[in-house]
Structure 1
Amino acid sequence: MATLKDTFRNIFKIHELRQRILYTIALLIIVRIGSHITLPGIDTVLLNEATKNSSSNTLFGFYDLFVGGAFKNAAIFALGIMPYISSSIVLQIAGAVVPYLQKLQKEGEDGRKKINQLTRYGTVLIAGFQSWGTTSILLHMNNNGMPVVPEAVRGFAWILSTVIILTSGTMFLMWMGEQITDKGIGNGISLIIFIGIIDRFPFAILDEYQLIASGSRNIVIEVVIISLMVLIIAGVIFVTQGTRRIPVQYAKRVVGRKVYGGVTQYIPLRVNTAGVMPIIFAQSIVFIPTTLLSFFPNNEFLSNINRYISYGSFFYTLAEALLIIFFTYFYTAIAFNPQEVSDNMKKQGGFIPGIRPGKQTADFIDNILTKITLPGSVFLAIIAILPVFVRYLGVSSSFASFFGGTSLLIVVGVALDTLQQIESHLLMRHYDGFMKSGKLKGRRG
């Protein structure tokens, strides 16, 4: 069996795989460069001073996580790829209730192309509204009374040009994401978010090093913290790849001179079908009071609410955990339709041994899905609130975010997906993959 060193060497022996990886890296470098190019007319010195002490525990700070700091930098890619993600989520949820979208979902490749086109239109619309909101935030941002946007450049022309630049930046990111998916390696949209999160990791490590260098942290304690992080990542990988396989038997049928069917396949029901979406929904909701307070700092009602549900408080932790469990079931019900799976099995002559086709099969799948979603939702809730408890160990806030929450789940999920695609290229050309036994199971494995 090949060692890990040999495996990486084999990756660059395959011309197509090497070209795909280099192409992906080149586009991701462009993404990071664009995240540091400030919008025209912005005073960068005042901007840095104004955002230096801004809290990450607001809706804007949470948004900035997905765009790799571009929002705080007021960069041309400040909106990131999030308008596209929002448009996709809206259409996915609408697909459960809108007949026209349900029809498109059943039309195969043609229907998928139409849905992608609608997603792009939605992206332009959402990006336009968000870019207009961003200009409003920048116009009101100041440092000790000195505006970030100088009076000389304020006006309709600056607002219009900023909206166009931000919207175009999002569309350019969407195009690069699609190019990575088609000509590179991995899911382009996911990798753009992934690289934005990973970009903060070296700075988080530097914060921990400075704690050790200053004598504030014992090296033994740091080793224990790193070991804990490794165990948490291993647990996330284990649950992310966890599936409950339901056997499906297909009856034999003769077509011409060939016999089809007569084999047993499996329906893999994931323990975490909803992925990272429940945490995104839940944190977006619990951050709303803190975000509103940043706009109205003198409002006594908002101050009282924020006092009870501030980041790290008992009510904040409890509310986030309960919302995650709720949204896990909610999003799973949207993402996976047992009735549709049952109908497709029936059309193809498949059945679950001991279960009658039709409604009983749908009820059986739904029952199993409900049971395995409970531990999956509880696990998501634990992972989401882990950074809160890790901070009590003296870990810096930037490093604590990698112990759980949205950051860790996205990084692990995207890394597994990308490695699975690389593994497929290696095995297809008779090279050993990353694993000495079995296969690496990605999110689509």
Structure 2
Amino acid sequence: MLEKLANIFRIPDLRKRILFTLGLLAVYRLGGHIPTPGINADKLQQFFEQNRGSFLGFVDLFSGGQLRRLTIFALGIMPYITASIILQLLTVVYEPLAKLQKEGELGRKKITQWTRYLTVILSAIQSLGIAISLQKGGDFVVNPGPSFTLMTMLTLTTGSAFIMWLGEQITERGVGNGMSLLIFAGIVVGLPRAVADLIDKVKTDAWGAFTAPAMLILIGLMIVVVAFIVYVERSERRIPVQYAKRVVGRKVMGGQSTHLPLRVNAGGVMPVIFASSILSLPPMIGSGLGLKNSRYFGGLFTALQWGEPLYTLLYAVGIIFFAYFYVSIVFNPNEVADNMRKYGGFIPGIRPGKRTSDFINEVLTRITLVGALYLIIISFIPEWMIAGIHLNHLPGAAGAFFERLPSWVTNGLGVNFYFGGTSLLIVVGVAMDTVT
């Protein structure tokens, strides 16, 4: 193992890329210690501690714990991810944008530029919502007023734009996907604090007689989830491909057998991140506009809280949708079938051309559904252990049934989201992708 690590640093280009990546990640973490001006940090920390098992704790996970301190990087990469989703969806439904995407490098650069502009706009909207919410919510602001609102908008929007630049630089000149690595770094840095909080709960006997079983269940669940993630992420469906012999000049080409690998979870962690970022928008915007306690919209925003039945349903549907959507972007069965036919390849028992494309698409559809269900299981079961199953809010007999369940089932164990399936999926998935 040590020999392999030493070999990595003997390759000049790879060594340069790794050091560049580590340097930018250090800059990202440094920014996580610079607070936004005018914030009562102690009050804000206390508020997040009281709501660690809520939707706020889940959003704080993706910011690397910076939202609870409201640092200059508090928005994290959520605005960029949301902007990317919107632009990618528009390329499907808006024909001029779809044509622009097919124009090669120039078209992709144009779409990337629009994504940056939209990121800044979304960051400004979210920072406005945060500034208004903080001034309405309690003693979080030292000197509330228009100057604080403007300063917060300017600080958080600039920080979000800088994070976007960091991620792009890591992707281009470093190792791995920059945006995924930024989330990865935030989660890993927050793990020691989460472990310390868990130890405090054990010392104070937070769950009473259930403390020991709760710890065993939580640790066992983490081990099972990590093993399950590694197994599925390495799983693939291999379609056999045969290449016919052909004569090129004086050489005989082809004649060998190979396979077309299709990953069960081709989208990786992106469907979960996409679904989470989309569902995080309504509560944040609603809080900023004061709609959370509205007579007409209050019930809707309550239903969109983490663990509520409506949120659970929309989250599951979102993961399935983005799993298929992401695969449709990164993998084109028609192009694969055309390339196979061009080089004399064929799938045994399947005619080249459209039949091959349809067969690949059919297989891809089935395994993508399996991958989406896997993501739902990984995302939901541990989070239910942490934040509880709020199905007791269902109407009628169903709600009454869940109301009779133990409190640790309906209210959760109240530990940090760093022990949840989503965080474990991101950490394990990004680590495996980066190493690969």
Per the alignment, residue 398 of structure 2 pairs with: none
Cα distance in structure 2, aligned partners of 1:260 and 1:131: 58
Q: 1:389 aligns with which of 368, 384, 393?
A: 384
Partner of 1:249: 242
Deviation per CA, 1:343-374, whole angstroms, max 9, x where unpaired?
33333433222211222111111111122223
Q: Contact 1:208–1:395 at 8 Å: present in 2 too?
A: no
Amino acid of the structure 2 residue aligned with 1:409: L
AA at the equivalent of 2:33? H
Identity %: 44
Asked if 1:204 corresponds to 2:194, the answer is: yes
Structure 1 counterpart of 2:89: 93
1 CA distance for matches of 2:48 and 2:385? 25
What corresponds to 2:184 in structure 1? 194
Within a 5 Å distance, the mapping from 1:348-427 to structure 2 comes to 348-391=343-386, 392=408, 396-405=413-422, 407-420=423-436
Per the alignment, residue 427 of structure 1 pairs with none
1:26 partner amino acid: G
Counting only pairs closer than 5 Å after superposition, residues 30-429 of structure 1 correspond to structure 2 as: 30-45=27-42, 47-48=44-45, 53-54=50-51, 57-58=54-55, 62-103=58-99, 106=102, 111-112=104-105, 114-142=107-135, 146=139, 148=141, 150-151=143-144, 154-155=146-147, 162-216=152-206, 222-223=215-216, 225-283=218-276, 294=287, 295-300=290-295, 302-305=297-300, 310-314=305-309, 316-391=311-386, 392=408, 396-405=413-422, 407-420=423-436
Give the root-mean-square deviation of aligned CA atoms: 3.5
Alpha carbons of structure 1 residues 302 and 86: separation in structure 2 relative to 1, 3 Å: closer
CA contact (8 A) 1:128 1:163 kept: no
Give the CA deviation at 1:235.
0.5
8 Å Cα contact 1:250-1:261 kept in structure 2: yes
Structure 1, unmatched stretches of 5+, are 421-445
Q: Secondary structure at the match of 1:379?
A: helix
Deviation at 1:191, TM superposition (A): 0.6
Report the Cα offset of residue 39 of structure 1: 2.7
Which shifted more, 161-170 or 33-42? 161-170
SS of the aligned residue for 1:248 comes to strand
**Higher share in helix:** 2
- Cα distance in 1 for partners of 2:107, 2:30 equals 32
Question: Within 2, Cα distance between the matches of 1:276 and 1:15?
Answer: 31
Change (3 A) 1:302 1:160: closer
Shift of 1:12: 4.6
Partner Cα separation in structure 1 for residue 179 and residue 51 of structure 2 = 27
How far apart, CA to CA, are the structure 2 residues paired with 1:313 and 1:165?
33
Q: Give the corresponding residue for 2:25.
A: 28
Q: Secondary structure at the match of 1:135?
A: helix
**Unpaired runs of at least 5, structure 2:** 387-407
Aligned residues: 409
Question: 1:360-400 CA distances to partner (integer Å, 9 max, x unpaired)?
Answer: 11111111112222322221221121124323479754445
SS of equivalent to 2:35: coil
Partner of 2:389: none
Cα distance change of structure 1 residues 154 and 297 upon mapping to structure 2, 3 Å threshold:
closer
Give the letter for the 1:404 counterpart. Answer: G
Amino acid at match of 1:387: P
- Name the CA distance, whole Å, in 1 between partners of 2:121 and 2:421: 32
2:160 partner letter: T
